[in-house]
Structure 1
Amino acid sequence: MLSKTSTLLSDALPRWAVVAQQLAADIAEGRLKVGETLPSELELCRTFNVSRGPVRQALRRLRDLGLVSGSKGRGTEVISDRPRSEYEMVLRSTADVMGYAERTELSFHGQDRVKLEDGLAEEFGADAGVEFIRLRGVRRAASARGEALACSSIYVPLLFATVLQRPELGQVPIYRLIDQELGVRLDEIRQHVTAVTVSDEDAALLGVPPRSPGLRIVRLFLGAEGQLLEATVNIHPAERFRYSIRLVAMEQGDAAPGSRAAG
C-alpha cells in the first residue's frame, strides 16, 4: 500500500516530482514489487491529492528512469527496483553549462600537442594546421555509481596553455582558469550535437558495447570578438545521457539573442 508523504506540503519540489519521488521510494523499499501493477491514475490522484497532470508527469519520469513500463489496457507495471544510471543535462543558460563541470568529475589520461585537421578546424572556426594542446579524459557524474558519462577531448589554444599547469585542472573549467589567470572572460558558448556510433576505443573507456548509439557534443567557449578560449568534443553513451533544452516563448517582434532582423 502506498504511503502518503509529508513532503507533498513542501514548496521545494513541484507536485509531480513529489509523486515520482514517493513512488520511486515505494519501489526501492519493496512496498511496490517488480511485476506488480501501480494503482490507476485516478487512485494516485486521490492518494496524493493532485490532478491527473502531475500524476502523468510522475509516471513519465519513472518510465524514463526504467522503473516502470506502461501499456494501454494493462496499466503501469513495475519492471525494476533500481533506476538505470543516467545523467540528464538541462540547459537554460550559460550558467547551466558552467554548472555541468561542477556536478561531474573529469579524470585525464592523456595530453598531447596536435594540429587541427580540416574537419575539426571547420567545426572550431579555426584554420587547418593550427596547433592546440589536447587533453583526453573520462567524465563521470559525481553522484552516479562510478559509470562514465563521456569521453572528452579538450582543445586549448597555445596562447592559453599556461593555465594547464594549475592544480585546479579537472575540478575547475579551463575557460574559468583562463579568466582567473589571464583576465580573458567568457562571452559566448556555441555547441553542435550529432548522433554517432561509439568507436571501439571510446566504448572500452565508457564500458559500453562497440558501435553503440551515442551523442557527439562539440562546445566552443568564446571570448570577445569570437576568440576561441577552449573547445571540447564529448562522446556520450545514449543509455546514460539525456540532453534537455528549455525554450522560453518570446513576444512576437522580439529578436532572439544573436539573431538579426532582415530588411
Structure 2
Amino acid sequence: MNPQAPREPKYHTIAADLATKIRSGEYRPGQALPSQRELSAAYGVTMMTLRQALRVVEDDGLVSQQVGRGTFVTEPRAAYQLDSLRGLAEDLREQGHTVRTEVVGVRPGPAPTELGTDDALRIERVRLLGGRPAVHQVSWVREPYGSMVRAVDFTQVSLYAALSEHDVVVHRATERLRPAILDTAIGDLLRQPAGVPVFVSDRVTYGMDGEPVVVDRATILGDAMEVRAERAASGLSLRWTSNVGAGLTGAEDS
C-alpha cells in the first residue's frame, strides 16, 4: 500500500486562492480585501490560519497589511532575476507580466570598453509593464553579430532570441546592479521626473569562446521591480560589496 501523500496546509490553499483572485483582477491594485473576520468566515478557518495565509500572500508581494486600516492589494511588481541568461523581456513574460517594447533607435555606434571592440550595434528600447514605462535598456552588440540582427523587429523579437536564430550561443554573463538617481534624458523616455530612485544594471554576456557578445545597461524604476537572486550550496550567485555606491554584484559561476 502506498503511503498517503501529506495534505497541503489549509493556509496554503487559502493563499493560492487569494493570489488567483488578485492576479485575475477580482481584487484590483489599491483595493482593500474583506476584513480578516469576513475572510476567516468565508474560508471556514480560524483567524490564526487566515493570518498565516495573508502572510504568505504578503511575502509574495501581492498585498500590504496596514495596521488599523486593513489589507490592500499592492501595485504589480516584477522580479528582476540575477540568475538568468535570457533577455529581460523573456524573464518578465515568464513571470506572467504583460510586456511591450518600444524601440527608440537601432544604429551603429561606439562600443563600451567592456565589449573589447570599437564597432557595435546600439539598440535602445523602453520596456512597458502593464502599459507603464518601467525599464530603459541600451544593448551594444559586438560585430559581426550586430549586422546579423540589425533588421530584426525588436518590438516583437528579443535580442537573445535573434542571436540564437543566427547560431550565436551565449554561455555566461556577469552583472552589476547599483542604486542610482534618474536623469532627465532617460526620465523623459520613462515619463518620470528626474531624481526618482532607480536600479541600474550593467551586464556583459559572453559567447562560448569567452569573448563578450553583448553589453547591456538597463535603468529600472525603483517602484516597478524587486531584485531576486538564487543561492546554491555549490556556488555564489550574489555578492555583497561594502564599497560606497557600488551596490550589488551578481556573477554566474563559469
Q: Given the two structures, how large is their TM-score scaled by the length of structure 2?
A: 0.69
> Which residue is 1:126 aligned to?
116
Residue 174 (str. 1) matches residue 159 (str. 2)? yes
Q: Is the 8 A contact 2:86 2:160 kept in 1?
A: no
Q: How many angstroms does 1:15 deviate by?
A: 3.7
- CA RMSD between the two structures: 4.0
Q: Is the 8 A contact 2:79 2:92 kept in 1?
A: no
> Which residue is 2:169 aligned to?
185
Q: Is the 8 A contact 1:175 1:229 kept in 2?
A: no
Q: Given the two structures, how large is their TM-score scaled by the length of structure 1?
A: 0.67
Structure 1 residues 18 and 101, CA gap change in structure 2 (3 angstroms): closer
Letter paired with 1:140: L
Residue 115 (str. 1) matches residue 110 (str. 2)? yes
Q: How many angstroms does 1:205 deviate by?
A: 1.3
Q: SS of 1:229's equivalent?
A: strand
Q: How many angstroms does 1:162 deviate by?
A: 2.1
Once residues 26 and 48 of structure 1 are traced to their aligned partners in structure 2, the CA distance between those partners, rounded to angstroms, is 23
Residue 200 (str. 1) matches residue 184 (str. 2)? yes
Once residues 234 and 21 of structure 2 are traced to their aligned partners in structure 1, the CA distance between those partners, rounded to angstroms, is 36
Letter paired with 1:107: E
Q: How many angstroms does 1:192 deviate by?
A: 1.1
Once residues 90 and 38 of structure 1 are traced to their aligned partners in structure 2, the CA distance between those partners, rounded to angstroms, is 33
Q: Is the 8 A contact 2:174 2:205 kept in 1?
A: yes
> Which residue is 1:89 aligned to?
80
> Which residue is 2:16 aligned to?
18
Q: Is the 8 A contact 2:102 2:126 kept in 1?
A: yes
Structure 1 unmatched ranges of 5 or more = 1-8
> Which residue is 1:77 aligned to?
70
Once residues 21 and 152 of structure 2 are traced to their aligned partners in structure 1, the CA distance between those partners, rounded to angstroms, is 43
Structure 1 residues 15 and 97, CA gap change in structure 2 (3 angstroms): farther
Q: SS of 1:234's equivalent?
A: strand
Structure 2 unmatched ranges of 5 or more = 1-6, 236-250
Once residues 88 and 37 of structure 2 are traced to their aligned partners in structure 1, the CA distance between those partners, rounded to angstroms, is 39
> Which residue is 1:230 aligned to?
214
Structure 1 residues 45 and 186, CA gap change in structure 2 (3 angstroms): farther
Q: How many angstroms does 1:49 deviate by?
A: 9.7
> Which residue is 2:204 aligned to?
220
Range moving further from structure 2, 49-58 or 152-161: 49-58
Q: How many angstroms does 1:150 deviate by?
A: 0.5
Letter paired with 1:86: R
Q: SS of 1:132's equivalent?
A: strand
Q: How many angstroms does 1:86 deviate by?
A: 2.5
Once residues 87 and 58 of structure 1 are traced to their aligned partners in structure 2, the CA distance between those partners, rounded to angstroms, is 15
Residue 210 (str. 1) matches residue 201 (str. 2)? no
Q: How many angstroms does 1:188 deviate by?
A: 1.1
Structure 1 residues 27 and 258, CA gap change in structure 2 (3 angstroms): closer
Q: Deviations over 1:121-151 (max 9, x none)?
A: 2xx2536xx232211110123xx1x101201
The aligned length equals: 224
Structure 1 residues 226 and 135, CA gap change in structure 2 (3 angstroms): same
Q: How many angstroms does 1:53 deviate by?
A: 4.5
Once residues 234 and 29 of structure 1 are traced to their aligned partners in structure 2, the CA distance between those partners, rounded to angstroms, is 26
Once residues 217 and 91 of structure 1 are traced to their aligned partners in structure 2, the CA distance between those partners, rounded to angstroms, is 10
Once residues 29 and 227 of structure 2 are traced to their aligned partners in structure 1, the CA distance between those partners, rounded to angstroms, is 29
Structure 1 residues 196 and 205, CA gap change in structure 2 (3 angstroms): same
Structure 1 residues 193 and 95, CA gap change in structure 2 (3 angstroms): same
Q: How many angstroms does 1:46 deviate by?
A: 1.6
Once residues 90 and 39 of structure 1 are traced to their aligned partners in structure 2, the CA distance between those partners, rounded to angstroms, is 37
Q: How many angstroms does 1:16 deviate by?
A: 6.4
Structure 1 residues 169 and 23, CA gap change in structure 2 (3 angstroms): closer
Structure 1 residues 59 and 102, CA gap change in structure 2 (3 angstroms): closer
